[in-house]
Amino acid sequence: METKIHKISNSGYFQILMLLLKTAMAKGSWLLHLITFLTISMLFGGSLVQLTLLNRIDVNVPHMKIDGEEAILRQGSIKTEVVSWSPRVFVFHNFLSEEECDYLRTIAGPRLVNSSVVNIKTGKPMLSPHRTSTGMFFRKKEWEHPIVERIETRIAAFSHVPKENGEPMQVLRYKEKQYYREHFDYFSNHLNLEKRGGQRIATMLMYLSDNVEGGETYFPAAGNGKCSCAGMTVDGVSVKPIKGDAVLFWSMTLNGSVDRTSFHAGCEVLSGEKWSATKWMRQNTFVSSNSSINHQNRNE
């Protein structure tokens, strides 16, 4: 059961939602129905559909036009797939271009260090057998590079989380036999959370390499079926790492509480190398700090 649930293309969403809009407007109370329509598109269609529809609906109301919008959002290239509703997990196929994937890997390569986790008692980084990858974080001055800026804008558009709520992007490399055991992305402790932008609410995980055996992103609590994790058949849902694809999953429920079904893992790599880029998003504007709590997502 590897990401094969409710697969509908953005064009399919567009046709369905346009039909709903025409029906609603024909029955009157067009403003109320239009608001309902846009809400539905936010839930099911993603930002690509929203922006496309807003540009096509002529209601004589000015709206923002992003320069180079098609290129920034890769309109017509990205396909949305619903993987799970509990936890909420979505795959955006072709989210990154080849150029974007290769750029992130090239910048990250010389700066990789052993990945660490956060000690729940001290708030300081520590090495752990739960996490065996290497990784790096983009510096603030690098956020303004055109390619990084483009990716950041796309993440904000598809997640509906403002760019300023995002932590620095992290690039990770998993070699053969490396993995990340089951964990939550939200913090179980509350050390300095309010000062740093609150709890983590969502994660965008982007795959930067192909030809990887194993290395799936695994959600044990999702679905009622079976899936593959490092060559083993297990309960839950897993997403195979494919270059350019991205996984968006939520660490909070709709009522604002942490979602314990968002428990997930990076399965062991059996062959090849798995490269990925991670963007964690907070409740409010993220405040940078030298504290490692901003840069790790495992509490020990």
One digit per residue, pLDDT tens: the chain, 300 residues?
544 444 444 444 445 455 544 554 454 544 444 544 444 444 444 444 434 433 333 333 333 344 578 879 998 899 999 999 999 999 999 999 999 999 999 999 999 987 766 666 666 676 666 776 899 999 888 888 999 999 999 999 999 999 999 999 999 999 999 999 999 999 887 766 878 899 999 999 999 999 999 999 999 999 999 999 999 999 999 999 999 999 999 999 999 999 999 999 999 999 999 999 999 999 999 998 754 444 444 443
- Pairwise CA distance, residues 290 & 31, whole Å: 48
Provide the CA 53 distance to its chain's centre, in angstroms.
23
Residue 282's φ and ψ, nearest 5 degrees, are: -105, 170
Cα-based distances in Å from 239 to 48, 222, 228:
22, 11, 9
Considering Cα of 98, then 104, then 238, then 168, what sign does the dihedral take? negative
Identify the pLDDT of residue 111: 93
Region class of 230: left (phi > 0), else alpha (psi between -120 and 50), else beta: left
Q: What is the pLDDT of residue 133?
A: 85
How high is the pLDDT of residue 55?
Answer: 39
State the pLDDT at residue 42. Answer: 47
Distance CA 192, CA 173 (A): 29
How far is residue 217's CA from residue 203's CA, in Å, rounded to a whole number? 12
Supply the pLDDT for residue 121.
Answer: 65
Contacts of 122 (CB under 8 A, 6+ apart): none
Residues whose CB is less than 8 angstroms from the CB of residue 190 and which lie 6 or more positions away in sequence, other chains included: none
pLDDT of residue 118: 64
Write down the pLDDT at residue 65: 42
Alpha-carbon torsion angle 67, 99, 152, 107, nearest 10: -130
DSSP 34: H
The distance of Cα 159 from the centroid of its chain, to the nearest Å, equals 7
* Helical spans, DSSP H, in the chain: 10-26, 30-44, 46-56, 69-73, 98-108, 146-159
Length of the chain: 300
Domain architecture of the chain: domains with CATH = 10-73 (no CATH), 81-294 (2.60.120.620)
Task: Show the DSSP H helices in 1-56 as ranges.
Answer: 10-26, 30-44, 46-56
Tokens of 244: 């350019």
